[in-house]
Structure 1
Amino acid sequence: MPSIRSRALALSVAAALSVATSGSALAQKKYDTGATDTEITIGNIMPYSGPASSYGLIGKTETAYFKMINDQGGINGRKINFISYDDAYSPPKAVEQARKLVESDEALFIFNSLGTPSNTAFQKYMNAKKVPQLFVATGASKWNDPKHFPWTMGWQPSYAVEAQIYAKYLMKEKPNAKVAVIYQNDDFGKDYQKAFKEALGAKAATMLVTEESYEISEPTIDSHIVKVKSLNPDVVVHFVTPKFAAQGIKKIGELGWKPLQLVTNVSVSVGAVMQPAGFANAEGVLSADYRKDGADSQWKDDAGMKKWSAFIDKYMPGADRTDNSLVYGYGAAQTLVKVLEMCGDNLSRENVMKQAASLKDFAPDTLLPGITISTSATDYAPIAQLRMMRFKGDKWELFGDVINADTTSPD
């Protein structure tokens, strides 16, 4: 029979082992505000109302996607608490909502908030607070600046890269064309317009006949279209958001005018842009994209789009599959889930950014074949590839090869 002393020693060893074991288990888990053993709180800001309200479907898609993830058991056993607020595409309102999400709702980070002006308004706040402003839903090139804004990262291809592709296409295919640019007079439109002009280089002096701006608060751009037509350009480039893309294409058609038209990839939705503009008016319009089209039969046997379609059937029944916000929201949400899976039990804000900057050839279900997501500590541009496409009949037709872009971040 063991002595009292030996029993006491055994108990102390067991206690020490217990402490060491529990200490080891505790060491494996690391949480910042917004994360627990059972939940991850994620914030989001969308223009559910106002001039860019058509984008609100992105937030609704992400809400549905995270519900699906929760129904499947969550991420590493944790359910997602997704809080999405409306900012009406107003920068002051966006700042208010960002503060609320961080300080009152105690979100771990803000994900995929939409709009260049809105995100610009609270970018410094997020970086000062060291809270991730992750996978921003805008293609402004400023989101790829890890040196100065290490807590902000974009998701989609940058507007500057896209504008460069259009400039190169025109210089090759229509080097003697007279080109008119219509752009939104804010950070969104100016980013495109500046990059486009720079890419034209010396040719800008002979090719550009006008750079016509409009305000997001204007109800219609019809008068701007009429003004541009008076200059008789061969090409009209629309650096505009969906509502105004539909108006511009429709007005050009109503005027019986037939210039070559290019629109941004944020305004290529068949349901939100091309249909309202009129398919006949939209015939031949050019753009570039990185996503599959949810309404295009060419993807009916695609494994990724079968998953997307099943998701829409179950979680968003009746949704208009011609609206590519459904594709965008799904792809962005799937990317975030991948990052959170990579985080494991270290749900610190620092590790969320570290894993977001460690993606390698990740292929969400909804990206075009050959286009993948890769990031690094010095490259915060997850998607840097596009393909040109032309609108024909009632859908977009891809042409040419996948174009890789230079995503060098600013000094």
Structure 2
Amino acid sequence: MSLMRAITDRTARVGVIGLGYVGLPLAVTAARRGFPVTGFDVDPGKIDKVMAATSYIDAVSPQAMQEACAKGMDATADFARLSTCQVIVICVPTPLNPQREPDLSYVEKTGHAIAAHIRPGTLVVLESTTWPGTTDEVLGPILGTSGLTLGEEIFLAFSPEREDPGNTAFNTSSIPKVVAGSGQIAGDLVEAFYARVVDRTVRVSTTQTAEAVKITENIFRAVNIALVNELKLVYDAMGIDVWEVIDGAATKPFGFMPFYPGPGLGGHCIPIDPFYLTWKAREFEVPTRFIELAGEINTRMPHHVIDRLRAIVDADSGRGLKGTEILLVGVAYKKNVSDMRESPAMKLMQLLDEAGAKVSYIDPHVPEIPPMREYRQYAARQATDPATLAPGRFAAVLIATDHDAIDYPALLALDCPVIDTRNAITRRGLAMERVVKV
């Protein structure tokens, strides 16, 4: 068929919808592998940066961005141009609503935009993480409103994103890509496409299976993080250092995989994806108590950190948090990246504000807090200049994200308690006086 030929010889134009942490690396990789690529986004700032060949994501180097644009990659907010694309990949957010239920509004709106412009002989791939069944049960019917027949004129597939911001060992092209199509032809097409974009593809039988693969990967991590977070609470009460326990257990060459506690969960996947499965499981009247318990433990961690911080400040100065100044160290969700999605540091900031504390923050990767779906009140808040930090200014320092570029000895010199949620001080071999692991 002509679509398969276009994919095989890399003449099929690829449209990537959503130029964020998933879409931009994919678009750049596909362009560098020889496909003509057009990116689509509703954010004019991202469009301008792509057209200027300027990367705004850590995972995409300036050199990679320039190479992709030199090969013709462009970007637009004009979704009518989807009619020129033979492969359309959806990389839009799938957050939770305030009731912690799946919010597929971005996927649904994107589906309707595609249906309005799609032409016969097009492959549509969903990469957004979601509950098993979304591709066929939600996106498929929306594309059907185009008047074109699924499986004959247009083809639908799912391939979960596996981006890991800050991971220098793997990138978009080297991470194995799970693929599945709605039907044999769609499966063949999506496998052929990604085989020309990434180093290895892993085909599974159905889109539901592929959706479940991604959910399972993230539930595995969420549950294990919840386990060590709970162990941290237990061992703290016993006077045992959970970090030392984990490091000791990690020396076993089999049967143990180290996970580490923290002030909460961040990133788009781990805090959100398990709730997609628990929501879907209710349809089948299947309890998911284990997953839900893990979610409760991880969600509670920021509150535990602030409770400990309050007690430490009170013991040190005889006052609570109200009216005190707290230095929050790191607001990105993980070390050495600028990614703010679902960062537990923002919940910590909110809880401190609610307690009446004055919060300053430093983060070498986030000089200004960007607009987010949540915590909109913090948009455009500026980081404090580390050069202005002085002893006596702060009631406590709270390390939420352990970036390597932070001057930790300077934090210890501020002459106040340092609450370390990441074991950053111990791992750097620094003096532990006035440092409390939480």
TM-score range, shorter chain: 0.3 to 0.5
Higher relative contact order (CA 8 A, sep 6+): 1
TM-score by length of 2: 0.33
**Length-normalised TM-score, structure 1:** 0.35
Structure with higher strand content: 1
More helix by percentage: 1
